[in-house]
Amino acid sequence: MANIVTPNTATPKQPTLPPGIVPDFCLVQQQFPKVAEKITLMWGTLGLHEYLNKPSSTNARTPGISLPIVSALMRLHEYHSTLIPVARTMMPGITLPD
């Protein structure tokens, strides 16, 4: 009898976040679930910074993205940069304390 392998179709778990950032992630997840899924999948990688820096992914100029969402994404991005110090140099216009 052959072993049957089924793909893992479960929704990825949200990244581990401090309590102050959880509402930001939840807001993005509610309004833009695909963006939240990409954030979850790329959490802990430099790829997340590249994704959040792309104008087409999450940008105030994109129709439907409100100021609260942009702010939430910026806070997620800023927090994530504390986990990956080299990412600090990839955040144009944002200076973070050491």
Domain boundaries, the chain: 30-90
pTM: 0.68
Beta-carbon contacts of 61 under 8 Å, excluding residues fewer than 6 positions away, are 55
Q: How many CB atoms lie within 10 A of CB 53?
A: 15
Q: What are 61-74's pLDDT values in tens digits?
A: 556 678 999 899 99
Give mean pLDDT, residues 45-71: 74
Which of residues 73 and 94 earns the better pLDDT score?
A: 73
> Do the beta carbons of residue 6 and residue 58 sit within 8 Å?
no
Query: How far apart, in whole angstroms, are the C-alpha atoms of residue 21 and residue 28?
Result: 11
